Amino acid sequence: MESGTNYAVYFLFDEAEDNGITRVYIGQLRTGAKRMLSHDKSKQFWSFCIMFVTDNNSFDALTIDYIEYYFINKLKGSSSYLLENKDMRTSEPIISIYDKPKLMAYIEQIEFLLKTEGIDFDEQQVAEDTRFYYPVNKKYHAKISIKDGKFILHAGSLIRRPNETSKEWADEGRFYNRYNKIIDDFLKDNKIIEKDNCYETLVNLSFKSPSMIAGLVSGSSENGWLFFEGLNDLRYTE
């Protein structure tokens, strides 16, 4: 399309497999869709892209710089997504108080359009009547709930790196490497902090499977339905 060469902000999504967490790369374009051709070659992880561009090219360099900064920092508090960006954009772009309302209006429109596609970068909120589930083994400090078919590991829970023995498992270290990578990504996004030889979750984290949560909490491969007390009963209840 004609506006495909205009200034734009885009999101590259890696749809998670095997109950993993969806990864997102956020970027800006000054040459429109042309740069996506290079991403197709250099960033092989993504499965689909959403680009925001105006037909009259009303985005300028400051606008896309601020929108990119805003969403990179919002993703750090997201329950369901991990950032793929290496530049975490810790410094806010300098904008005037007169420009900010317009930029926030753009951001609100983008957030609305993303939500219509089922993409919500906000942290999962907890309702007052939420039912919580706790590990059967009381040596673990964690609680989960279920919302919209997803399993929520709540802020304040403790997770840990995989046991060193898992490096020698028959899976050739896949569990060990995968769960270490998840911990490293959570640290990069400031979703967890080190605490008492473990890591405390700072936001509610969303997963497709209770077993992935159980693996993070225990540091070993676990059946999540059995790991959390009372959770397995749901599988046989209408």
34, 52, 2, 4 alpha-carbon torsion, rounded to 10°:
0
Task: Output 164-170 pairs: Cβ under 8 A, ≥24 positions apart.
Answer: 166/219, 166/220, 166/221
Distance CA 152, CA 163 (A): 23
pLDDT at 1 (0 to 100): 47
Instruction: Report the C-alpha gap between 197 and 25 in whole angstroms.
Output: 30
Q: Taking phi first (over 0 means left), then psi (-120 to 50 degrees means alpha), and beta for anything else, what does residue 32 get?
A: left
Q: How far is CA 45 from the centre of its chain?
A: 15
Per residue in 83-138, pLDDT tens?
Answer: 888 887 888 999 999 999 999 999 999 999 999 998 999 888 888 889 999 999 99
Q: What is the mean pLDDT of residues 25-42?
A: 68
How confident is residue 202, by pLDDT bands cut at 50, 70 and 90?
A: very high
The Cα–Cα gap between 181 and 237 comes to: 35
36 neighbors 10 (Cβ within 8 angstroms) = yes
